Structure 1
Amino acid sequence: MSGNQNNTNCSVESNSLILILVPAYILVISVLGIVFNVFVLMVFCLHKKACTVAEIYLSNLAGADLVLVCCLPFWAEYVRNNYNWLFSESLCKLVPAVISMNAFCSIYFLVLVSIDRYVALVHPLSHERIRRPFYAKLGCLVVWGLGLVFALPAFIYRKLRFEPWSNGTLLCDVDYTGNQYLVSEVMTIMFSFIIPVSIVSFCTVSIIQALRNRVMGGLNSQRMEQKANTLILLVLLAFLICWVPFHVSKIMDVLENVGILSCQIILIIFQQVSTYLAFFNSVLNPILYVIAGENFRRRAKELVKQWNNKTTETFSLMSTRTRLTTVKLGKPRADL
């Protein structure tokens, strides 16, 4: 979320179509993201079996995505009111910080999933000892910690302020100096995009090569390898589609800030649209990483059976108690 909304030549007009479409788009993302990720967390957390290494990463990913999409309605209201912040300054700091933190964590949970798949398929024997739940939980804890550190600038520098060009509206904006802004944007591009996408790309290419080099063990093996190839490519493609435009807009914003590009309305619109396209990845994650997986579907079916059995047992117990109560009430007294 760019803080460069204070340029008179780059302000978004109050009758702009973006003020109508973006809030509706954000709310749709929020509803879908909450439903999908809550469902994922229910399947992982309520199932009687312990989570595998991959499922630990995926459950943390769902948690990060869930918190992120829960914060987006605040920003939808901000945009809908023509960038007039109606909430407190504490929320002005907290909401962008939480969004930044969970966007960062979501990306790196995807990286952990990619690394886990790389280790499992490319080095299944020599690296089996590191694919343990303890190390998976430790990795998730590190990601959450780094995400918190990454969100600190948003929490520190976000402020409420009036601007003359904004017709008296109250902006929730970052208060960076020129150097602080450039350092922040470059660090975001480096650690939230270049590094993770390089790791995911390396893991994906290595996995595809390893699958192609294996000897085909029959039709079933071919189908399994084809599914693995397709899923890996879809995951990488979704990641790139959702996040490349956002970081391209970040780069363009940096170039505009140093005077290489001139600020135009189309740039502001592109920045806004690319930001919320990136957040759509929080809706795609449970679909591509979890719901499309056979293990998840099996676990979901087992959870449904588990609930059905508990419901049946509960009704059976209630029925038995009712019959016993009826018998006791209807039994003649011995002293009559």
Structure 2
Amino acid sequence: MTLPTTSVPENSTSDSGVLDLDLYTALVPLLIISILGIVGNVFVLLVFCLHKKACTVAEIYFSNLAAADLVLASCLPIWAAHIADNKFNWTFGSVLCKLYNMVIKMNACCSTYFLVLVSIDRYVALVHPMSHGRMRRPKYAKLGCVLVWGFGLLMSVPTIVYRKAKYHPDHNATYCSLNYTGTHHLIFVGKYALFSFIIPVCIISYCTVKIVQALKNKAMLRFHGEDTENKATFLVLVVLVAFIICWAPYFLLSILEALQIAEILENDSSEMQDIFHTIFTYLAFFNSALNPILYVIVGKNFREKVCELFQSGRFCADLENFPCSRTRLD
């Protein structure tokens, strides 16, 4: 069984070699993540779309996040089939090689920036409610989502340019891989890490610090009311922490590998590094499946929407038994 050793979530395959692992070790986690991501995000979108009340600003962002995560999770079965049947021998042609990886890159980037919009919305709601409250309108939220989708498409352009289906005689296989020199690889990975992780995390961290400070201010809590803004804020904080935990290891290892390819650091590639790369890649993918679970466990407002939609007393009672249901910031 072979696994990629370069920057996947782009479904990249290393030009320098592959890692032999058992089929189920690579395939089963990928399929589980895909199934959970598809089912969970479809459920979230149905709740937001079918509920009678119009979505709030935060819910507009969360619904777009669910859409991006759904597309990302839907792409994983193609990769799983690619692993199972072809052992990374790409047989789908150069065009699909570019488009498939463009979609993954675009939606991974969009997921990140929808979280940025969510954190900014919570920041404005709690820290500047009077001076910037008019900015928190659905029409502005929808415009922001359109801009994020456009930015994600722009970020995926290098993938379209450099991603190619290339035949490797040494392995007697065609790999869908990124084709550029070590310096270009470093620039590509550095740009992607900067705009898709470092800058978003800096914005999210600043907003989070200000949000926590605002939540500690009891006067502000009384002004807003504990059952309005703070329910959504607690969910946002949990989702943001989950994002950082899932994506930080992948980006750190990707930067390390780029520095090694560019010969800035000694290229001490090992089987253990390949294994960690695979684990961190799957952890990053898992974030798309984790978000819907967090909505149900932590988000009381979301559970209330589900109850109103299904109108089932027993179903609602079961949801209310979650530990977070009775906490003050739920």
What's 1:280 paired with? 286
Give the distance between the partners of 2:296 and 2:203, measured in 1 at CA: 20
The answer as to 2:15 corresponding to 1:11 is: no
- Residues 42 and 225 of structure 1, relative CA distance in 2, 3 Å threshold: closer
Q: 1:281 to 1:117 in 2, by over 3 A?
A: same
Q: Which residue is 1:51 aligned to?
A: 55
State which structure, 1 or 2, has the greater radius of gyration over its C-alpha atoms: 1
SS of residue paired to 1:161: strand
- Distance change in 2, residues 1:58/1:231 (3 Å): closer
- Cα distance, 1:124–1:171 mapped onto 2, change above 3 Å: same
Runs of 4 or more, structure 1, over 4 Å off, are: 221-230
Quick one: distance in 2 between partners of 1:216 and 1:122? 9
Q: Residue 231 of structure 2 contacts residue 300 of structure 2 at CA under 8 Å; is this kept in 1?
A: no
Q: Output the CA distance in 2 between the equivalents of 1:75 and 1:249.
A: 21
Give the drift of 1:164: 2.4
- How far the C-alpha of 1:178 sits from its partner, in A, is 3.0
Give the superposition deviation at 1:165.
2.5
Instruction: From the superposition, tell whether residues 57 and 100 of structure 1 become closer, same or farther in structure 2 (CA, over 3 Å).
Output: same
Query: Counterpart in 2 of 1:311?
Result: none
Residues paired across the two proteins, number: 298
| Pair 1:226–1:122, CA change in 2 (3 A) | closer
Calculate the TM-score normalised by the size of structure 2.
0.83
Amino acid in the other structure paired with 1:126:
S
Does 1:215 pair with 2:219?
yes
Deviations 1:275-304 (A, max 9, x none): 121011101122324663222122222222
CA distance in 2, matches of 1:60, 1:155: 24
- Aligned twin of 1:318: none
Question: How far apart in 2 are the matches of 1:203 and 1:216?
Answer: 16
- Post-superposition shift, 1:22? 2.1
In 2, the alpha carbon distance for the partners of 1:223 and 1:302 equals: 18
Alignment partner of 1:302 out of 301, 304, 308: 308
Does residue 268 in structure 1 map to residue 277 in structure 2?
A: no
* Contact kept? 1:201, 1:236, Cα under 8 Å: no
Q: Deviations over 1:180-219 (max 9, x none)?
A: 222111101101110011111111111111111223979x
Q: TM-score, normalised by structure 1?
A: 0.82
Q: Which runs of 5+ in 2 are unaligned?
A: 1-6, 313-330
Deviations, residues 27-51 of structure 1 (Å, cap 9, x unaligned): 1111111111001111111222211
1:143 and 2:148 matched? yes
Q: Distance in 2 between matches of 1:217 and 1:122?
A: 11
Amino acid at match of 2:160: F
Match 1:37 to one of 41, 48, 51:
41
Report % sequence identity.
53
Take 1:250 and 1:174, find their aligned partners in 2: how far apart are those partners?
14
- SS of the residue 1:107 aligns to: helix
Asked if structure 2 preserves the Cα contact closer than 8 Å seen for 1:85 and 1:172, the reply is yes
Does structure 1 residue 164 correspond to structure 2 residue 173? no
In the other structure, the counterpart of 1:111 is: 116
Q: Tell me the residue number matched to 2:136.
A: 131
CA RMSD after TM alignment: 2.4
Give 1:88 deviation, angstroms. Answer: 2.9
Mapped to 1, the partners of 2:59 and 2:229 lie a distance apart of 20
1:255-314 Cα deviation digits (max 9, x unpaired) = 2112213222222222222112101110112232466322212222222239xxxxxxxx
Q: What's the secondary structure of 1:148's corresponding residue?
A: helix
Deviation of 1:223 (Å)? 9.1
Tell whether the 8 Å contact from 2:125 to 2:229 is kept in structure 1 after alignment: no
Of 188-197 and 280-289, the range deviating more from structure 2 = 280-289
- Decide whether the 8 Å contact of 1:11 with 1:265 is kept in 2: no
**Which one-letter code corresponds to 1:274 in the other structure?**
F
Q: Which residue of 2 aligns with 1:74?
A: 78
Instruction: State the SS of the aligned residue for 2:156.
Output: helix
